[in-house]
Structure 1
Amino acid sequence: MYYTPEQQDDLAHAYISAHSELSELMLECLRQADTTDVAASKEHLCHGAARRIGVMSRAMQRIFSLFPPDSDRPLSMDSLHDVQINLHAFVINVFGVFENFAWAFVHRHNLLPAIGRPVNVSMFKDATRQHLPIAVEDYLSSDRITRWHAEYLKNYRDALAHQIPLYIPPKTMTKDEGERFNALEAEKWGLAGRADWDRINAISAEQDAIGSPCFTFLHSLEEGAASRPLRLHPQVISDSNTVIDFGRRFLASWHEHRQ
């Protein structure tokens, strides 16, 4: 499904804004690292969160460059793989930046003895969240962020890391286009062993020209609603804005903690 011209304009403006604000958040991580003498906190802000935000920014840039929202033809398989590589990098670092913020906080306030095992260090686990400033905890426990983490971020990150990697279908086809594509595929298989390369190449070229670009991604084809197709460009922008929004709130108050 194509984006409308109005949606393309909105995505272009939102991309420019998110890209700029990610750069500012990366710098704020470095500035805040200078406010503590705890080496482990510095490392998680400078070499953890800031580095991940930089990768996110670049991955978003490459996704929009390789696969602009105004694309009207399906991508080549090489280009599609490059988009998926950047999507994988983006999603895994969205997940990871929250972990780096959690570790920076725990180390700064020497909370690991109170939290217990390292596995309990997470912005999305009560053992850590009970020590966060109220404003940060309220943000994380809001319905929007709770659903975003449970239904999307953890789900898609776990699939990427442990199960079925995130996947952008190569194209969408109408019923007539699908029938023509399948007819050509059957003809191509019928030519197997006959070495009629001119006809085989012609069939492949016609198949490549059939269909429209697919602007969604998912993981497993077997998990139903747990792997619902998501719009690629809006999701990348939305995730960026969530990291920006949370990062600002966290860094504004991470010097505080609840006993």
Structure 2
Amino acid sequence: MSVYSPDQISELEQASYAVQGKYENLLLAYYSKKYRTANGYEHALHGFGRRLRVMTRCIENTFRVLPPSQTAKPDDNQRLDATINIQSFVQNAYGCCENLAWIWVHERDIKMPSGDPVSHGAVGFRKTNRVVWRSLPTDFREYLQTLDKWFENLKGFRDGLAHRVPLYIPPSLVDPANTGKYKELERQTRIAEFTQNHEKLRRVEEELAQIEFFRPVMTHSVTEESPLIRFHDQLLTDFNTVEEIATKFHKIL
């Protein structure tokens, strides 16, 4: 049974089709602008523009490989291909925001209080990026503050991916009520594999199939008790948020 209703599946698919047009509109806006500095130009076209293109393709690939309508357990290749695209998307969504902040730094010649160039770790659109933050227009800062939770979640995804446990799509899930039975069947599977008892292995796998089910979710670490996130929704939400930030930012340039 799908986690999405037929109407939700239709809405997700339509939203995924709209991504290409949004990408092209943003690209035109940033490509047609005249930049004061070579670094600002590079971060706009070769930073933000490239990343946005990758994000667009990642959504297209993920929806093709594992469509929101799929309820059958995917094979390992399907999951791996979707995972690769999701991981790439997250890294580039995070990078898009930093590219936009770098455009501001170069185009407005933002410096540290000492007069030194702004360091890499100090560039961003969050309050913790104090020097850049204070240089932004008040209304844009107020808008960014409404996205605090979104920035926090995106950073969490990106940091886990880069430094701890990467995002992945679980091959299957089990109702908590069946956890004990699942662990026992898993134990029997290992024994059957070790003893090469193929008949026993077949029967155990059939029992496992009765209690396992697939959901289009992604997560980080099991030990960190990371939440299960529906990746179709999340990819579209993140893309649309980056688009909104970039559209508002383009106006203040």
Please state which band the TM-score falls in when normalised by the shorter chain: 0.7 to 0.9
Whether the aligned pair in 2 keeps the contact of 1:135 and 1:249 (CA below 8 Å) is no
Whether the aligned pair in 2 keeps the contact of 1:177 and 1:210 (CA below 8 Å) is yes
**Which digits, 9 at most, give the CA deviation of each residue in 1:56-114, with x for residues without a partner?**
00111111111100001011112111111111100111111111111111111211345
Residue 221 of structure 2 corresponds to: 220
Question: What is the RMSD of the two structures over their aligned residues, measured on CA atoms?
Answer: 2.5
Q: TM-score scaled by structure 1? A: 0.84
Q: Tell me which amino acid in the other structure corresponds to 1:138.
A: E
Residue 22 of structure 1 corresponds to: 23
For 1:168, what is the secondary structure of its paired residue?
Answer: coil
Q: TM-score scaled by structure 2? A: 0.86
Distance 1:95 1:229 in 2: 20
Distance 1:176 1:122 in 2: 44
Whether the aligned pair in 1 keeps the contact of 2:15 and 2:236 (CA below 8 Å) is yes
**What pairs with 1:1-259 in structure 2 (closer than 5 Å)?**
2-32=3-33, 35-114=34-113, 116=116, 117-118=118-119, 119-124=121-126, 125-142=129-146, 145-150=147-152, 152-174=153-175, 185-192=186-193, 194-197=195-198, 200=201, 207=208, 211-224=212-225, 227-254=226-253
Give the superposition deviation at 1:195.
4.0
Overall identity of the aligned pairs, in %? 28
Distance 1:66 1:76 in 2: 11
Q: Which deviates further from its counterpart, 51-60 or 206-215?
A: 206-215
Structure 1 unaligned regions, length at least 5:
255-259
Distance 1:126 1:68 in 2: 41
For 2:70, what is the secondary structure of its paired residue?
Answer: coil
Aligned residues: 247
Whether the aligned pair in 1 keeps the contact of 2:71 and 2:215 (CA below 8 Å) is no
Distance 1:29 1:210, change over 3 A: farther
Distance 2:156 2:29 in 1: 29
Distance 2:155 2:191 in 1: 45
Whether the aligned pair in 1 keeps the contact of 2:160 and 2:166 (CA below 8 Å) is yes
Q: Tell me which amino acid in the other structure corresponds to 1:164.
A: V
Distance 1:244 1:195, change over 3 A: same
Distance 1:100 1:193 in 2: 52
Higher relative contact order, structure no. (Cα contacts within 8 Å, ≥ 6 residues apart):
1
Give the superposition deviation at 1:146.
1.0
